[in-house]
Chains A and B, each alone.
Chain A
Amino acid sequence: MRDVTEKPPNSALWWGFALALGAMLCNIAFFIQPPAQRSIPWLSLLLAVVALVFVSKGLWQVFAPPRIRRGRILASTVSIFSLLLVAVSVFAFFSARSLPISAGAPQVGQKAPDFTLADTTGQPISLGQLFAPGADGTSPKAVVLIFYRGYW
């Protein structure tokens, strides 16, 4: 009879877990604003998909005959954690991108619609007022309008 302890470790399973962890950690990378920030969502999604492949392989080796790897409880536990990490990463990918198309927003060369809104002291401020001369007497050449989600 063959000794089960001689079976090598389930490296596919652990690679799957590591990749799922990597997909999750990509979300932290947004806060340090790396230069290739635009590719991070795709990197996260890719890692999550590859993680699934590795975890499936790891599970297969444990459960499918002739069961070339041992540790069914460990494999199941690691797989569940990996799947959770993958699920969070995939959900984050799609929810972060569920944005309106904004086809009617002003484009380059078009006029920015005028508006008047209250500032942080409740004072009404119009777009035109933002071009008023400052303390040094010079008017700004341009203004950056930043629309943000709020709730910070």
Chain B
Amino acid sequence: MAISVDAPEISRDLSKKAGYSFTILSDPNAEVIRRYDLLHVGGGPDGHDIARPAEFLVDSSKVVRWVNFTEDVRVRAKADEMLAAAKGLP
């Protein structure tokens, strides 16, 4: 599941183009992004407030089991690290 400040239509186009099957949610006013303390003030290309990249593995009781906060927007999360954490879940 992915969240950004992009409008639903933008996310729909992205999802279609990239062939994503996971849920993409829109947080245009960055309310949830702010609640997760992930707001990057003025980080958007036009000076808009956006989310900093972050990934959470959340179990069914909504407890965080793995997190990744990159220090560099160009460096992506390692899928194998996240999968290893997911495999360790009961």
A and B interact physically: yes
Q: Chain A interface (Cβ within 8 Å of chain B)?
A: 27, 30, 33, 37-38, 40-41, 92, 96-97, 99-100, 102-115, 117-122, 125, 127-128, 130-131, 139-152
User: 0/1 per residue, B21-43, Cβ < 8 Å to A?
Assistant: 00111110001110111111101
Determine the residue in chain A with the shortest Cβ distance to B33: A147
Cβ 8 A contact of B8, one of A33, A106, A120, A131:
A120
Going nearest first, the 6 A-B pairs with the smallest beta carbon separation are A150-B4, A104-B37, A117-B25, A120-B12, A150-B6, A146-B2
Q: Chain B interface (Cβ within 8 Å of chain A)?
A: 1-6, 8-12, 14-15, 23-27, 31-33, 35-41, 43-45, 50-60, 62-67, 69-76, 82, 86, 89-90
A148 touches B37 (CB 8 A): no
Determine the residue in chain B with the shortest Cβ distance to A141: B89
A146 touches B12 (CB 8 A): no
Cβ 8 A contact of B25, one of A102, A104, A113, A119:
A119
A-B contact count (CB 8 A): 182
- Chain B residues with CB under 8 A of A96: 72-74
Cβ 8 A contact of B40, one of A37, A40, A140, A149:
A149
- Chain A residues with CB under 8 A of B15: 120
- Chain A residues with CB under 8 A of B40: 99-100, 149
Beyond the given pairs A105-B36, A142-B57, 6 more chain A to chain B contacts, judged by CB atoms under 8 angstroms and listed by A's residue number, are A97-B72, A99-B43, A105-B54, A120-B15, A144-B55, A145-B3
Determine the residue in chain B with the shortest Cβ distance to A130: B1
Cβ 8 A contact of A112, one of B2, B39, B43, B58:
B58
- Chain A residues with CB under 8 A of B44: 149-151
CB of B1 to closest CB in A, whole Å: 6
From known contacts A106-B56, A141-B89, A144-B56, infer whether A99 and B73 are also in contact, taking CB-CB under 8 Å.
yes
A143 touches B58 (CB 8 A): yes
